[in-house]
Structure 1
Amino acid sequence: MNPSSQSGTRSSLQRLLLKRFSMAAATYALTGLLCGVGAFTGLFNAPPLAVLSIAALAALSQILFLGLFLSRFNLRFADPSLTELQVLVALVWLTALLSLFSEGRGSLLVIYMLILLFGVFQLPPKVFARCALVAFLGFAGLNLYEAYTLQLRAPRMALMQACVLSVVLVWLCLFASYAQALRQRMRKRRFALQAHQDTLRGMMRQLEDLAATDELTGLYNRRHFLRLASRELEGLRSGRQHGLALLDLDHFKRINDMHGHAAGDRVLQTFAVVARACLREGDVLARYGGEEFVLLLPNTEADQFSACCERLREAFSHAEPLGVKLEGLSVSIGMTLLGVHDDLDDALQRADQALYQAKREGRNRCAATWEQVDA
């Protein structure tokens, strides 16, 4: 993955984590609102100093978490969401808050569920069970401490609340385990689907290559060349011109008749190798049909184009196909230029006329039809 993609992925992750943090902060606010309702109904008669202390410490913890997220320091941890730490801190503050309640304590047990639900889809089952155990031990320990100090007003009610909490926590642990297993299955299916998609994309690229390539020579075929040439012509700017040539292997029928079609195929393959070695990176060479080839040189001048075709012709005349003893290999080339307002079919016709001129003049030569192209 390139650095820009990594940066974009991290930015998306941070935005998601900040949204989850805002949900956690909203839970704190809702809990404070419930405490206000408890105070209004007379179920919450805690000393103001204790309430302010817990509220201040809880707010400070959230500011610290927010600072970790905004500074991206959280990305250094194995779990950038810091879910387990946030859950444990919230459980501690909730248990401390419940110690300030007397009769209305059971009404706030549901907050334990809200806090743990925050980690159902994020925490591994063992970690989630550990957090659930902390929640139960905190609530049970609070009641046991009050029973020991003779401050517990309704022991049977406290026992019932602890039993209900334990049942709900066990159920949440089972649900978290199921959710994580379901998440793992979905992830495996997503990876498998992505692998299938990559395979299909690879097969599509192979099919596209097969559809665009001549099987014998490995060059582009005629249809793909016409598509590329049309695209190059559309992008041609004023004052520029392209070189277009038709190339025909001389006496190719004689080679097939005297040495067989296998020898003819080897000659075609040899020409393709030689031609590639003579051309630039952006030049386009294709098999036009039979022993005929077509060449497009983008952004060239007449002298440069002629020199390139002569170099190619000379190189092929000295080529020696592997496994075949042949003498006098040669190619005839017809050249023309493409201008801004030119027509591809017309240009191919000009190149074909130049090719016939080269044939008439004795083959193994380059001929040109240099028409004035539009500037």
Structure 2
Amino acid sequence: MTHNAIQRLLLKRFALAAGTYALALLLVWLAFFTGHYDDSLAGMVIGSVLTVFSQAVLFAVFYSGTNLRCSDPSLTEVQILLGLGWQSWLIVHLDEARGAFLVFYLLILLFGLFHLSRIAFVRCALLVFFSFSAITLWELYHFKLHDPTQALLQVCVLFVVLGWLVLYARYVQVSRQRMRQRRFALQAHQDTLRGMMRQLEGLVATDELTGLFNRRHFLRLASRELNAMEVGVVHGLALIDLDHFKRINDVHGHAAGDQVLQAFAGVATACLRDGDILARYGGEEFVVLLPDCDAERLTACCERLRIAFMDVELVGLEIAHLSLSAGMTLLELGDDLDRALHCADQALYRAKRDGRNRCAAAWENVDA
């Protein structure tokens, strides 16, 4: 998650806590007007204002992003300790209604169920128990308890509930840890599967012998390039055939023929630009698409490739007079790929008919 997404989530959590404070204040005022809250009207107003002020300060911290500088950007423990402080202050001023408001201790601790560490949660639970016990003992010492047995029962009930909550928090945290580990393991498996899928896509799109694109993938890429063409842009297309390749296989063996194909693939890759699309079209035939290329640049590229292939020296083989023939054509916006391949094939046939080891252009035939 991004920092903005995390901050929005933290602000939503804070809004939930602030809403809980608002409901608690309404209940406190209800207890005050029903005579169960032992404080003056001025004390009630001051306490309410301070409660609202504390939440306003926290809102400013979250809204400004200052919380992101802390080790715990959620400030969970800080908010819980603040809530427990206000709750203990509330308990001090309650009489018979004290038991009804004990539930707020648990509600405050629930905010830390998923975000506090085990030690921090136990620490907050102990603070709740000792705070309430201290309030009860202080009132018992000063003979202010109306029903000591009821107060003792409240302490015991609080102890049992807090103990259960600590155990449940431990269970939840262990479960979350296991789920996190499983999520990480699942993510690792997904990454592995994505890598395998990319490898499979590469195998499907690549000719195993030469490492170039295969015919099917070339047609897919070329169609995409043609669909993305703009007005005034011209692409160059060339079909290339290795001369006398069948004779090389017959005389030197298929392993030698494979080496010749690999040598051409290496030479062609070195001669082409980034973005040019080269593929093995089938057998000893190759195809190349040069995006944004005019007739002069296409001819120069094919001639450069033809001369480079003539200079190839094969390791362990003595094959003289390696050469290739190429048929070239141009594509403009709206041209059909199959039609362009047919034109390039016709130009290639003319190059081979005229003696091989040459580049023939489809537009030269048209001009003639």
Task: Tell me the TM-score normalised to structure 1 length.
Answer: 0.95
Secondary structure of the structure 2 residue equivalent to 1:282: coil
Match in the other structure for 2:123: 130
Note if 1:149 corresponds to 2:128: no
Query: CA shift at 1:163, angstroms?
Result: 0.6
Query: CA shift at 1:372, angstroms?
Result: 11
Residues in 1 aligned to 2:246 and 2:281: alpha-carbon distance in whole angstroms: 16
In the TM superposition, 1:90-101 aligns within 5 A as 90-101=83-94
Match in the other structure for 2:306: 313
Which letter does structure 1 place at the counterpart of 2:12? K
Note if 1:256 corresponds to 2:249: yes
Note if 1:191 corresponds to 2:181: no
User: Over residues 74-97 of structure 1, what are the superposed CA-to-partner deviations in whole Å (9 max), with x where a residue is unaligned?
Assistant: 111111101011001100111011
Secondary structure of the structure 1 residue equivalent to 2:112: coil
Instruction: Extract unaligned runs of 5+ from structure 2.
Output: none
- Residue number among 327, 335, 347 corresponding to 2:328 in the alignment: 335
- Say if 1:334 and 1:366, in contact at 8 Å, map to a contact too: yes
Residues in 2 aligned to 1:316 and 1:226: alpha-carbon distance in whole angstroms: 25
- Say if 1:54 and 1:97, in contact at 8 Å, map to a contact too: no
User: Over residues 153-209 of structure 1, what are the superposed CA-to-partner deviations in whole Å (9 max), with x where a residue is unaligned?
Assistant: 221111110111111111111111111111111111111111111111111111111
Query: CA shift at 1:60, angstroms?
Result: 2.2
The number of equivalent residue pairs is 366
Query: CA shift at 1:129, angstroms?
Result: 0.8
Residues in 1 aligned to 2:155 and 2:315: alpha-carbon distance in whole angstroms: 89
Note if 1:216 corresponds to 2:209: yes
Which letter does structure 1 place at the counterpart of 2:17? A
- Say if 1:124 and 1:177, in contact at 8 Å, map to a contact too: no
Residues 60-69 or 287-296, more deviating: 60-69
Match in the other structure for 2:63: 70
Query: CA shift at 1:51, angstroms?
Result: 2.5
Secondary structure of the structure 2 residue equivalent to 1:243: strand
Residues in 2 aligned to 1:347 and 1:142: alpha-carbon distance in whole angstroms: 92
Query: CA shift at 1:36, angstroms?
Result: 2.1
Query: CA shift at 1:303, angstroms?
Result: 0.7
Match in the other structure for 1:285: 278
Secondary structure of the structure 2 residue equivalent to 1:327: coil
Which letter does structure 2 place at the counterpart of 1:357? R
Residues in 2 aligned to 1:371 and 1:64: alpha-carbon distance in whole angstroms: 81
Which letter does structure 2 place at the counterpart of 1:301? D
Which letter does structure 2 place at the counterpart of 1:227? R
Secondary structure of the structure 2 residue equivalent to 1:121: coil
- Say if 1:243 and 1:336, in contact at 8 Å, map to a contact too: yes
- Residue number among 45, 50, 63 corresponding to 1:52 in the alignment: 45
Secondary structure of the structure 1 residue equivalent to 2:102: helix
Residues in 1 aligned to 2:47 and 2:148: alpha-carbon distance in whole angstroms: 26
Residues in 2 aligned to 1:31 and 1:371: alpha-carbon distance in whole angstroms: 90
In the TM superposition, 1:1-375 aligns within 5 A as 9-370=2-363
Instruction: Extract unaligned runs of 5+ from structure 1.
Output: 1-7
User: Over residues 218-241 of structure 1, what are the superposed CA-to-partner deviations in whole Å (9 max), with x where a residue is unaligned?
Assistant: 000001111111111112222221
Which letter does structure 1 place at the counterpart of 2:83? A
Aligned-pair identity in percent equals: 60
Secondary structure of the structure 1 residue equivalent to 2:14: helix
Task: Report the aligned-residue RMSD.
Answer: 1.5
Query: CA shift at 1:371, angstroms?
Result: 7.3
User: Over residues 37-63 of structure 1, what are the superposed CA-to-partner deviations in whole Å (9 max), with x where a residue is unaligned?
Assistant: 212332123123332333233222212
Residues in 2 aligned to 1:245 and 1:99: alpha-carbon distance in whole angstroms: 91
